[in-house]
Amino acid sequence: METKKILVVDDKEYVSEGIAEVLRRKGYLVRTAQSGPVALNFFAREQYDLVISDFNMQPMNGIALLEGVKQANPDVPFVIFTGRGDIKTAVEAMEKGALTFLEKDDTLLPKLEAVAERALQVRSLMVENKALKNELRDKWNYVGSAPKLMEIRKFTEAVAASRSTVLITGESGTGKELVARWIHYHSPRKPGPFIKINCAALPDGLIESELFGHEKGAFTGAVKNKIGKFEAASGGTLLLDEIGEMPMPAQAKLLRAIQEREIQKVGGDDPVQVDVRILAASNRDLEAEIEKGNFREDLYYRLNVFHVELPPLRERREDIVELATHFIGKYNDIEGYSVDGMTSECEKLLLGYAWPGNIRELESAMQRAVVLTRKGIIQPQTIEDFMNASSRGRQQTANISAGSCSPASSSSAHSDTGGGSGSSGIKFNAGMTIADAEKELIIKTLEHCAQNKTKAADMLGISVRTLRNKLNEYALGGDGQEDE
């Protein structure tokens, strides 16, 4: 536990040092000052968890010091004491934010011990509460004021109070998980867990085990009992991300779990009751998947009690600058930099860009800009460099997905013995089988995506599950990142 720091102020050194010695014996880190101006100087250079000060000091009395401390940091508790039993002074101190007022008599030191302990507990609670509020505001909250976003916020505020299922859809990067977490944190289930499971990242044979758990010995490798995501989320919320990727057999068992509010563990005999609120997210058109026979219609209607469709960033351009400013502040805090903002030219560039990756791409752009700028104002060149790099990346993706050579690399293709080479380095030789060509394409795409299967699957236009099956088919192994 971090040692608490206390600043003790009194113009009589023997008084301040006497108080300090008592508090040091309690394990606190204590510094003393003999005047208000010196104390404010210390306070400006260091962080303190508590200030204890005499009232009667020159040239700055305790009330003036209190005002200076509260102006610098209103959250720091302030205890004031005086040799005179002056009710008027006590009232003034409390009105200006003092935690308490003590009289300087024979009981002062034991009283200060108790008051310091209480004040520091209050301080810890304030810090914890502020951190929780910041988490909800910064991490799991809406940023922006576009009409579509305000409609969604109003709708989810009403929906959050219920236990009904919610289906959240939208393009990749539009903030589906953020909305799911917002619903959870604004619901009666907020004290309970929020559990997320990526349905696209689960191997076919392990989906039921991950969702419902299994008993020891249920299958090869089941060396101990396992609690599934449904049980882990009991009393809270379970987000089924990329629900459109779930295979049909697992969909049937998921439907039963939602309807009956009970699960059957793999290898288990007795059903287990669960109290879970289900949220589901997908960037696929589930109604189209139903038409193709890839998604159960009854499960769709069970999940789609309430539906939130998130708009792409290109449909809420009025929020782009506000979001960018939010991310500048976020990465200033994370990286410890002091970027003050961006030029109006940068704002024009952001507003004129298509943002195919939506909010996720905008966040990446601003993170990069903050790291490269570090201090001062973000310049247009930094934004232009990101956009140019993104455009090149999408062109490479198109080339890889098509398995074709770019015009710039066609001449070098003829120089390779026995085959052609595109800008991505993929070689196709006359007579090679389609399977060999597919294997080469998968290998190069994974290399291009730093072994991130989700990104590679997007580039190839297939699901993560299909990609994983291909990796097993070609004995390419299963290592690599699943998520973006």
Assign 273 to helix, strand or coil. Answer: strand
Q: Which amino acid is at 324?
A: A
Whether residue 296 has pLDDT greater than 80: yes
What pLDDT is attached to residue 427?
65
Is residue 40 a part of any domain in this protein? yes
Mean pLDDT of 424-439: 66
pLDDT tens digits along 55-83: 989 899 999 999 999 888 888 899 998 87
Confirm if 115 and 100 have CB atoms less than 8 A apart.
Answer: yes
Q: Is the pTM of this model over 0.85?
A: no
Q: Looking at the structure, do residues 174 and 304 belong to the same domain, yes or no?
A: yes
Q: Looking at the structure, do residues 19 and 111 belong to the same domain, yes or no?
A: yes
Confirm if 99 and 119 have CB atoms less than 8 A apart.
Answer: yes
Domain boundary residue, one of 136, 167, 196: 136
Closest CA to 34 of 64, 4, 59, 68: 59
CATH number at residue 318: 1.10.8.60
CATH number at residue 76: 3.40.50.2300
Assign 283 to helix, strand or coil. Answer: coil
- DSSP states of 164-191: --EEEE-STTS-HHHHHHHHHHTSTTTT
The residue ranking higher by pLDDT, 190 or 307, is 307
Is residue 124 a part of any domain in this protein? yes
Confirm if 182 and 156 have CB atoms less than 8 A apart.
Answer: yes
Whether residue 228 has pLDDT greater than 60: yes
Q: Looking at the structure, do residues 200 and 223 belong to the same domain, yes or no?
A: yes
Work out how many domains the chain is built from and give that number.
Answer: 4
CATH number at residue 457: 1.10.10.60
pLDDT tens digits along 97-153: 888 888 888 888 888 888 898 888 877 777 766 666 555 545 556 788 899 999 999
Mean pLDDT of 23-46: 92
CATH number at residue 241: 3.40.50.300
Q: How far is CA 481 from CA 43, 60, 120, 296, 447, in A?
A: 46, 61, 44, 29, 12
Is residue 379 a part of any domain in this protein? yes
Q: Looking at the structure, do residues 336 and 397 belong to the same domain, yes or no?
A: yes
Q: Looking at the structure, do residues 17 and 132 belong to the same domain, yes or no?
A: yes
Q: Looking at the structure, do residues 302 and 321 belong to the same domain, yes or no?
A: no
pLDDT tens digits along 145-174: 899 999 999 999 999 999 999 999 999 999
Q: What's the domain range around 99?
A: 5-136
The residue to which tokens 């009956």 are assigned: 260
What pLDDT is attached to residue 37?
94
Is residue 141 a part of any domain in this protein? no
Q: Mean pLDDT across the chain, nearest whole number?
A: 84
- Report the alpha-carbon distance of residue 203 to residue 482 in Å, rounded: 11
